[in-house]
Structure 1
């Protein structure tokens, strides 16, 4: 899943020479017996500083291996990876969006890494990364880093209203606080009508899902009672603000909206706070974060876990060295450093404390414990391309019959998933 830079990072500037995929002429023999591992990482997934530190540290620990990184753009990456997997000249390690792994695994182009889970600390991987990294019972993607949405709020407006954000541990308290914030000229929340990732969280909280599978066939599930309750809560929350009912968080950019007025809350990755401050520097020091509340105080709200997995192409020239690279990058030492450097959620629940001093990342880490992913099937890509969920949300928010609109959207999801499989 593509994510913008989450917090405090600048655009990635490559500090090393880039090259194309692996080539045997660059490996053992020419490098004095050293093997070159070719790695594709995505734009903005790491900073130049972190990349340099990791590569130098890795090569010092493994003097027999050189690392060569090529940064890839998110635009068109699916087709590029598909082509690489079908070739005889694939890189050794590829960073893939967690929701993309099933598509690549379904093509037969990835190595099955199921037998390496134990040595890669698979017992406490975030399920929102590990789940999408598996396909048909086999593990192809190794969790790399995670990100999810939290509530970004104005601390000054909360203080003025006498609201303690730490107390908002249930949906009921969240609704009550947002209602109170609307008094005195404040807009309690800005929630656009088509923020479907937030809707998905509410649906999961109710025990529903976007689609379900039975006997190898996928079916849209927005028309189930559970999913309809999730949409009902979304509509209740959205009505407490003035967000457009027919667009998502990018139209208009919600960070700009929050920067311009008296908006008390938005649902965003923590990086959204940086965008707010860029648009209105006077808000520096006035933004805070808390996990999206759940139905009960003991469980945070369910969230969509975005982020990346690391995969090894079946055509990789150096699979053993690739696994050594992955083991280091996803191990304790470098996961902690990555989380701090990039304000990410580490790939394992037991490492959440490493971001305790980062308010945004620590709020994400709480939510990540209840992280979910979109349906784990190659056919989901066709759903996101059409995205009938957005049209469904707008239809309900503008007065349409929820059950009828949900049935139509579910039928569209069913068609798209099975035609795209």
Structure 2
């Protein structure tokens, strides 16, 4: 009889409330926030700690973190954003590459987080290379999470042998030191001829850009005087080694070249040092790091900033919970925890002290303050698909007229960026 009574009570409660618990009973309804994060962005230990802490602070929310593979994720994200409503299985928070945000903004599938970012999250302090790609026409859709950028990885023993006793802080010092290092049997620097990410930093340092926007129309800018000065510095630096002029840094992978030969320097993310040591354990203790030098000693050179932003789909049915997850992950506490755990750069320059104890991450953080990203337009992917910058670089390095080749590449960039109806 008691069992029948309990069953009747449950049926009555369901009829009164449709779902959940009977009002006034004190049992809170719980919502699940589905979060898509990319593989290797965060350790499982970090995710476990974050989840436990977040759920303690939000007793009405459960986190469901699902790790995604980078390969093919773009189409998967677009499909999730194009869905008319969240069916309970779609993501409520998504990690995306910082330069991918413009692609997702076009379909109007992202939640506008301008108010939260301006009023609560310190938008003005974010690293430009993370924040700018997440913004479209003064509206913030992508919230900076973590950054990574190139530094100079160098051989301490080869610097000592060449008598280079202080690390260069300016471009002029860098050229002078690299010239001393570039001796018989030793490359001053290994810099592939088509490393356009590194070239971009030199162009930005000179006040130039890869492309510029005017009234919603983009056009290539490699032929400006500033961009040509950046290319000229690249040419001078690249000549102080034997990097292939017709290939980029992955052909062959520069980690292997650095590990196998007497190469004094490469320009790469600090994490590449692990690959170098795996191939040549004898270099343990001999690798050091410093920021890419700038034109003057008061600040490092500009660098391309990679990394991730967090976005919220407009079709989420748990908006407040999703925003709370973004606020927590990108806030000072957990952002610095992630940076220390994974050797990243935090999303604000003033948080760089969190990685001061790690030489590579500290060098990266110093450069990140001057970081930039590729032009904030979804059409930039078309430029990279058949990259005219690479061809321009090879021709200049083999003796062609820089201005002529830059004009040709700028026209090709403009064509790729021109949206035709």
- TM-score under structure 1 normalisation? 0.91
1:245–1:184 Cα change, 3 Å: closer
Q: Which moved more, 1:122-131 or 1:201-210?
A: 122-131
Instruction: Tell me how far 1:264 sits from its aligned partner.
Output: 0.5
**Contact between 1:381 and 1:420, CA under 8 Å: does it hold in 2?**
no
Count residues in correspondence: 393
**Contact between 1:378 and 1:420, CA under 8 Å: does it hold in 2?**
no
Aligned match of 1:228: 228
Structure of larger gyration radius: 2
SS of alignment partner, residue 297 of structure 1: coil
**Contact between 1:380 and 1:420, CA under 8 Å: does it hold in 2?**
no
Segments of 4+ in structure 1 off by > 2 A? 28-32
Q: Deviations over 1:355-386 (max 9, x none)?
A: 00010110011001101111111111211122
Structure 1, unaligned stretches of length 5 or more? 1-27
Instruction: Quote the Cα distance in structure 1 between the aligned partners of 2:46 and 2:249.
Output: 30
**Contact between 1:134 and 1:140, CA under 8 Å: does it hold in 2?**
yes
Instruction: Quote the Cα distance in structure 1 between the aligned partners of 2:224 and 2:209.
Output: 9
Instruction: Quote the Cα distance in structure 1 between the aligned partners of 2:239 and 2:106.
Output: 41
Instruction: Tell me how far 1:184 sits from its aligned partner.
Output: 4.7
Instruction: Quote the Cα distance in structure 1 between the aligned partners of 2:277 and 2:417.
Output: 40
Instruction: Tell me how far 1:394 sits from its aligned partner.
Output: 1.1
Instruction: Quote the Cα distance in structure 2 between the aligned partners of 1:153 and 1:196.
Output: 20
**Contact between 2:102 and 2:377, CA under 8 Å: does it hold in 1?**
yes
SS of alignment partner, residue 305 of structure 1: strand
- The partner residue of 1:66 within 62, 72, 77 is 62
Instruction: Quote the Cα distance in structure 2 between the aligned partners of 1:283 and 1:48.
Output: 30
Instruction: Quote the Cα distance in structure 2 between the aligned partners of 1:37 and 1:165.
Output: 51
Instruction: Tell me how far 1:417 sits from its aligned partner.
Output: 0.8
**Contact between 1:195 and 1:249, CA under 8 Å: does it hold in 2?**
yes
Instruction: Tell me how far 1:242 sits from its aligned partner.
Output: 0.4
Aligned match of 1:305: 305
- The partner residue of 1:77 within 61, 73, 76 is 73
Instruction: Quote the Cα distance in structure 2 between the aligned partners of 1:418 and 1:72.
Output: 32
1:314–1:196 Cα change, 3 Å: same
- TM-score under structure 2 normalisation? 0.91
2:115 paired with 1:119? no
Instruction: Quote the Cα distance in structure 2 between the aligned partners of 1:280 and 1:352.
Output: 30
Instruction: Quote the Cα distance in structure 2 between the aligned partners of 1:307 and 1:388.
Output: 24
Instruction: Tell me how far 1:397 sits from its aligned partner.
Output: 1.1
**Contact between 1:106 and 1:135, CA under 8 Å: does it hold in 2?**
no
1:126-205 equivalence runs, <5 A: 126-166=127-167, 168-205=168-205
1:41–1:182 Cα change, 3 Å: same
1:420–1:125 Cα change, 3 Å: farther
Instruction: Quote the Cα distance in structure 2 between the aligned partners of 1:308 and 1:178.
Output: 33
Instruction: Tell me how far 1:185 sits from its aligned partner.
Output: 2.5
